[in-house]
Amino acid sequence: MKGVPAVWNTIVNSANMITIEELASAMEYFNNQLIKATDYDNSQILKRIKELERNINRGSRHNARTNEVETQEIEAETLLIGQKPNNFNKPKFNNDNKPKPPPADHVISKGRTPAEAGG
């Protein structure tokens, strides 16, 4: 779309449109957004960017102290997916450490117990 504001190309994607009717339909659908995008004034943003660039080029008035940090380089071991290190031992899980459910003291049997029933 030649001759339209560049912002319009971000709102209406005309690359996949084949007919004029598709373009007209899309422009009608995005009418309010296109009008707002055209009315939007970028001059304030550009002024702010230029002001920030001037401040950076002038240098900062704030003199900060820096501290040097000692670093150590370590070597990391990497393995392929599914590969185990040479000193790998599977952890042994003990079933005795599982938490036991609390006793069901609220359950009251009705009728005969299994011993009374002959079981």
**The predicted structure's pLDDT at residue 59:** 63
Long-range contacts of 68-73 (CB under 8 A, 24+ apart): none
How far apart CA 56 and CA 58 sit, in angstroms, is: 5
Helices (H), the chain: 6-11, 20-29, 31-39, 43-58, 114-117
Q: Is the pLDDT of residue 31 over 80?
A: yes
Q: Where are the domains of the chain?
A: 6-58
107-117 residue pLDDT tens? 776 777 777 77
The pLDDT, as a whole number, for residue 86 is 75
Q: What is the pLDDT of residue 26?
A: 85
Q: Write down the pLDDT at residue 102.
A: 82
Alpha carbons 119 and 113: distance in angstroms, whole number? 9
**pLDDT band at residue 78 under the 50/70/90 scheme:** confident
SS3 51: helix
Tokens 């009418």, located at residue: 31
- Taken in order 93, 99, 103, 104, is the CA torsion positive or negative? negative
Instruction: Read off the pLDDT band of 64 (50, 70, 90).
Output: low
- Cβ-contact 54, 25 below 8 angstroms: no
> Which is higher by pLDDT, 40 or 102?
102
**pLDDT score of 27 more than 80:** yes
| Residue predicted with more confidence, 12 or 93 | 12
